[in-house]
Each structure stands twice: as C-alpha cells, then as structure tokens.
Amino acid sequence: DTGVSQDPRHKITKRGQNVTFRCDPISEHNRLYWYRQTLGQGPEFLTYFQNEAQLEKSRLLSDRFSAERPKGSFSTLEIQRTEQGDSAMYLCASSLGSALLNEKLFFGSGTQLSVL
C-alpha cells in the first residue's frame, strides 16, 4: 500500500493554457474525490467518483474543469484555459466504500498549481 499518489507535485503554467493532473488512489479503493485548497483555507469539494462513474460535481467546478476515471482506477483532472484564480493546491483522496461507514478518507500530497 503506497498511499494516494498525485502527479505532478507542482505545475506552473501561463494563463490560458490547459493543464492535466493525475491521481492514483490506493488500489481497490472504489471511491475517489478531488478537492481544491487555497492558502489559508480548508479543502473545498470539487467532485467524486464511485468506480468509473462521476456521481457528484460541486458548483465550484466550472465548465473549464473536467475529471475522468475511465477504468475505475486512476483519475485525471483537466483545467482548460487556466485563469489566475485557478492557482491552488488540488488534492485527491480515496476510500474503500463510504467515508461515512467507518472507512477513512486517504488524501494524497496534492498538486500545487500556479497560473502566471
């Protein structure tokens, strides 16, 4: 068990460019979450997958954001036409079953995005 892995750890991009982040959850975890965290704030929920199905999306997730989990394993989060306001830490988390049912939510170390 190597934990939740996120790649890259840091990403610097110019405004208007597209970026893609990857998350590898703990193997056999069927639930995967994306959160965004800005400096001095707690994480904000973006979206959630159960296996390959994207079941919930926050209103924070504009049309420029898209997430996939094609085979129910790793997930990607793409941001198109990045804006300076997209600068944040993007955290991925996974769980086996529901975090509500005694299953813990395991977070990765995040991808720090800086939009210049």
Q: Provide the binding-site residues for another protein, judged by CB under 8 A.
A: 3, 31, 33, 40-45, 48, 55-56, 58, 89, 91, 93, 98-100, 104-110, 112
CB of 60 to another protein, least distance (A): 10
C-alpha atoms less than 13 angstroms from C-alpha of 22 in its C-beta half-sphere: 7
φ, ψ of residue 84 in degrees (nearest 5): -60, -30
CB of 16 to another protein, least distance (A): 27
Which of 45/74 has CB closer to another protein?
Answer: 45
Quick one: 80 exposed, middle or buried, by C-beta within 10 A (0-12, 13-18, 19+)? middle
